[in-house]
Amino acid sequence: MTVFIKGKDAFSFAFKQFTDTVYRVALHNTANSSDAEDVTQEVFIKLLESGKTFRDGEHLKAWLIRVTVNLCRDRFRKSNRETPVENVFSFKSKEEKPDVLEAVKSLPENYRNTIYLHYYEGYTAKEIGKILGAKENTVLSWLSRGREALRKELDGGFDDE
């Protein structure tokens, strides 16, 4: 049975259930927590203004993630920065170990969002394709290339003992 969520019910449900998810996606795509908080607020304002009806909680969550990614992308374009996050891999020695989440954040946008949605939020390639507006095979390629880039970055920062 499909349960439809709309209006203020959608907002209340989304705010209780998905605020952390929206914030994490925003933080993952912005330069700092302040920007992530602003994006999170904008996402929920858009939800209130949208008046959309959602099939269920997963449909609502996917919509929120899509809006979050789009708002982050818009902020990035407006800021005229080359990359939203500084490249954290400028290791001078093998003693400096990279953080996995920071390594993910340093990836190009498509790889970063695909890796994040797959491993941190648990979406399949097909679901990620719907959220990001890409074909499933494209998402699979992004996952593969993103994993390879991570492997190179992380192997470079760890001793092979």
CB neighbour burial string for 87-114, b if at least 16 within 10 angstroms, e if fewer = eeeeeeeeeeebeeeebbbbbebbbbbb
Residue numbers of the domain that contains 59: 1-84
Q: Which of 84, 118, 146 is the endpoint of a domain?
A: 84
Summarize pLDDT for 84-120 with one digit per residue, the tens: 444 433 333 344 455 887 888 889 999 999 998 998 8
Residues 77 and 131 in one domain: no
Residues 79 and 156 in one domain: no
Distant-in-sequence contacts of 49-56, Cβ < 8 A, 24+ apart:
51/6, 51/7, 52/6, 52/10, 53/4, 53/5, 53/6, 53/10, 54/4, 54/5, 54/6, 54/10, 55/2, 55/3, 55/4, 55/5, 56/2, 56/3, 56/5
Residues 96 and 115 in one domain: yes
Tokens of 54: 């959602």
Residues 120 and 57 in one domain: no
| Summary mean pLDDT of the chain | 83
Summarize pLDDT for 50-94 with one digit per residue, the tens: 888 898 999 999 999 999 999 998 887 776 544 444 443 333 334
* pTM for this prediction: 0.71
Tokens of 76: 């990035």
d(CA 143, CA 128): 10
What's residue 105's pLDDT? 84
Residues 78 and 112 in one domain: no
d(CA 17, CA 31): 24
Question: Looking at residue 131, which CATH number applies to its domain?
Answer: 1.10.10.10
Provide φ and ψ at 11, rounded to 5°.
-65, -50
Q: Which of 53, 84, 115 is the endpoint of a domain?
A: 84
**Integer-rounded Cα radius of gyration of the chain:** 17
Residues 121 and 62 in one domain: no
